[in-house]
């Protein structure tokens, strides 16, 4: 292996964990991460302008696996498919399970399989919108990869971000993911129908969300029973 | 900004998403990822040898947020703290909630806050075991960052890996994370006490785990009621 290649590999190893970076390289690592985010941010803005040009409203939904992202999108699409022409982009590392579920409710769906990447980024969305005729849609939903950590590194260019947590994830789930709630417009606390049985302290969750981001809208829902889905649609101005 | 630095940044940008890598750099990206994993693997083996030298049994636990990792460790520690001197390492991006919970059951705990990293790796564990007197422990548990994607990139050097999913995460959760179940010794399907109410198809989950990894042990538990925790301890030879 050439010396150059060894150096490249060493550098990238250090990026895997900033704690492991040598002092003399740490600045570069930090600056690079900032550059990557700036680039993503620019592309996200471009995505947003493109969608605005065609009057498409856009919302992305973040949450852990099983929080109820797909179920919430299903309920919303069911309620709104007569009013809007809807496109739903679903991110997952593998399978087309979510897109297949949503497709049944009269929305066009696209599944992105990220392989090992734990979040969608603005490039994924860019690839799709540049290959679609945006005249055909009024409303875009993006369901991110089921993960509460990685998506906080990347905006996608949507108008609003919803973060969904569920009462089954425990009352610490919001406190443990401050970055994500800082960048979200709406916090959905789903599966309220189970809260009593589980003894989950919903008040603490609401308080944590507001504490992290005073501007965030917090709503409790049950995608299963449909509770408050109409209210969520109202909050989203749809 | 110098040309060199620009190039460095460009290279690292491409690493953020292998799909975005230019053709001429793709090989390097792939090779680097493999090198990183090889390095991690070597260090993991070193960790394992070090622990074996002191006859320490070691187990790491992976699962999404709220799957019940902490609750399961609490129950196991409660049952075994008279028999073993236990060290528990907890990974999270922020907070010391989990370590604080486990500490109350007579185990020494260490919290690692990873900041933005979505998984522990062998280096994290290495840092801890090299700074501890390993004569003081018989059993090590590592609770990974709540995430089902990133931990499949890194082994830690433990004897066994348990992956915990819960019935509230939906019956697709195992099918969606094949890499993780391939590398796990035990699959725990937790919160079985809620399965009926949720209508979760546990048989599908068991089938998926065995389909992905015929050697995996699958067990259904409820950390809340304590159901099958004794059986889990038995499977782990503890």
pLDDT tens across B162-211, in order?
999 999 999 999 999 999 999 999 999 999 999 998 899 999 999 999 99
Give chain A positions within 8 Å (CB) of B101.
none
B65 and A CB contact within 8 Å: yes
B118 and A CB contact within 8 Å: yes
> Is the Cβ–Cβ distance between A88 and A60 less than 8 Å?
no
What is the C-alpha separation between B60 and B63, in angstroms, rounded?
A: 10
Give chain A positions within 8 Å (CB) of B173.
65-66
Q: Which of B18, B97, B148 sits opposite A65 (nearest CB)?
A: B148
What is the C-alpha separation between B89 and B58, in angstroms, rounded?
A: 11
Torsion angle defined by CA atoms of residues A217, A122, B67 and B118, in that order, rounded to the nearest 10 degrees: -120
A136 and B CB contact within 8 Å: no
Quick one: average pLDDT of B104-133? 90
pTM of the model: 0.88
From first to last of the 238 residues of chain A, give the pLDDT tens digit.
Answer: 678 777 766 666 665 565 555 666 667 667 767 777 888 899 999 999 999 999 999 999 999 999 999 999 999 999 999 999 999 999 998 899 999 999 999 899 999 988 778 899 998 999 899 999 999 999 999 999 999 998 998 999 999 999 999 999 999 999 999 999 999 999 999 999 999 988 999 999 999 999 999 999 999 999 999 999 999 999 999 9
What is the C-alpha separation between A169 and B68, in angstroms, rounded?
A: 8
What is the C-alpha separation between A55 and A57, in angstroms, rounded?
A: 6
What is the C-alpha separation between B235 and B229, in angstroms, rounded?
A: 10
Question: Nearest residue on chain B to A180, judged by CA atoms?
Answer: B116
Which one of B7, B67, B127, B149 makes the best mutation probe of the A interface by having the most chain A beta carbons within 10 Å?
A: B149
Helix (H, G, I), strand (E, B) or coil at A161: strand
């Amino acid at each position: 292996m050439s010396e150059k290649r060894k150096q490249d590999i060493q550098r990238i190893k250090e990026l895997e964990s900033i704690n492991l970076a040598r002092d003399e390289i740490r600045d570069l690592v930090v600056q690079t991460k900032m550059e990557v985010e700036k680039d993503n941010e620019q592309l996200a803005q471009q995505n947003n302008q493109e969608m605005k040009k065609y009057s498409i409203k856009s919302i992305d939904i973040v949450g852990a696996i099983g929080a109820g992202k797909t179920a919430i999108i299903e309920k919303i699409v069911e309620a709104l498919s007569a009013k809007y022409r809807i496109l739903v982009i679903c991110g997952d590392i593998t399978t087309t399970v979510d897109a297949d579920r949503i497709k049944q409710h009269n929305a066009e769906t696209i599944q992105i399989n990220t392989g090992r990447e734990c979040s969608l980024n603005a490039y994924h969305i860019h690839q799709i919108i540049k290959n679609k005729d945006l005249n055909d849609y009024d409303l875009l939903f993006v369901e991110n990869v089921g993960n509460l950590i990685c998506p906080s590194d990347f905006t996608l260019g949507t108008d609003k971000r919803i973060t969904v947590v569920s009462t089954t994830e425990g009352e610490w789930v919001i406190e443990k993911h401050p970055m994500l709630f800082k960048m979200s417009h709406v916090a959905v606390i789903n599966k309220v129908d189970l809260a009593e049985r589980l003894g989950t302290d919903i008040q603490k969750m609401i308080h944590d969300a507001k504490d992290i981001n005073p501007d965030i809208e917090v709503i409790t829902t049950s995608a299963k029973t449909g509770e408050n889905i109409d209210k969520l649609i109202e909050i989203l101005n749809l």
